[in-house]
Amino acid sequence: MNLHVTRWSILNALLRDDAGQPIYRVETRSTGKLGGQESIITRFEPGAKPDTASETTLVEPQVLASVTSQTQDETDVVMRGLAEREVGRIEWHYTSPSLITQSGRTVEVESYMPWQDRWHRRRAFTASNGQSYAWKYGSARASLTRNDQTNTLVARNHPEAVRLFGKSQRQWIEIAPAELNIMDEIITTFVYVERRRLEQLQQPV
């Protein structure tokens, strides 16, 4: 499955499939605590109605859309009144451990997704299916593999391409069909990994 990022930053974007259907929304906002931020990852629920949904699991599109300016890439979402279910949340901290929340459980990122190497290029986590996976920080992209002897490729992002002539292409995420059952976890962890990967690239050598 391919998910196309509608904006240049994964931190505030819709993720659409090849047919253009919105699958996820990522919204990042300030928490008002010493520069802290939180990213909320929601999944669109085509069969659910916002006005009849549970307040604890579904939010109306307008609630999260108000965090950033309305743009054309969100028009169909608002017009269709699509309900959204929160599947992940990341609290970004720089003076204390960052936190990640999934399925109602909040843990420190360092305990949920610890480093696997001394160069800080590989993080591993155990998904809800019991399988261990590892994100690798590359200079051009992040890639996810099974953290076992097979080292099977599970997901990777294709970076944006800015062209002087022709249409520029924004990044997209490729996910193996066999792993779609943990797609929520893949997207939530990718948001964390991609931000940190880009921060690493900006650090002086």
pLDDT digits (tens, 9 = 90+) for 110-120: 999 999 988 88
Domain limits, the chain: 2-202
Count of CB atoms within 10 A of residue 139's CB?
8
pLDDT digits (tens, 9 = 90+) for 47-75: 766 655 444 444 444 334 433 434 556 78
Q: Does residue 59 or residue 83 have the better pLDDT?
A: 83
Read off the pLDDT of each residue in 29-45 and give the average, rounded to a whole number: 89
Residue 46 tokens, joined: 């085509």
- Mean pLDDT is lowest, of 49-63, 102-116, 121-135, 151-165, for 49-63
At residue 64, the pLDDT reads: 41
> Hey, which residues does 108 pair with through a beta bridge?
99
**What is the C-alpha to C-alpha distance for residues 149 and 141, in angstroms, rounded to an integer?**
22
At residue 201, the pLDDT reads: 81
Share of the chain above pLDDT 90, in %: 59
Residue 160 pLDDT > 80, yes or no? no
At residue 68, the pLDDT reads: 41
At residue 113, the pLDDT reads: 97
Residue 138 pLDDT > 80, yes or no? yes
At residue 49, the pLDDT reads: 65
At residue 110, the pLDDT reads: 96
At residue 108, the pLDDT reads: 98
137 touches 144 (CB < 8 A):
no
Residue 146 pLDDT > 70, yes or no? yes
Q: Does residue 35 or residue 10 have the better pLDDT?
A: 10
Specify the pTM. 0.84
At residue 163, the pLDDT reads: 58
The DSSP secondary-structure symbol of 73 reads: G
Residue 82 pLDDT > 90, yes or no? no
**What is the C-alpha to C-alpha distance for residues 5 and 26, in angstroms, rounded to an integer?**
10
**What is the C-alpha to C-alpha distance for residues 151 and 116, in angstroms, rounded to an integer?**
14
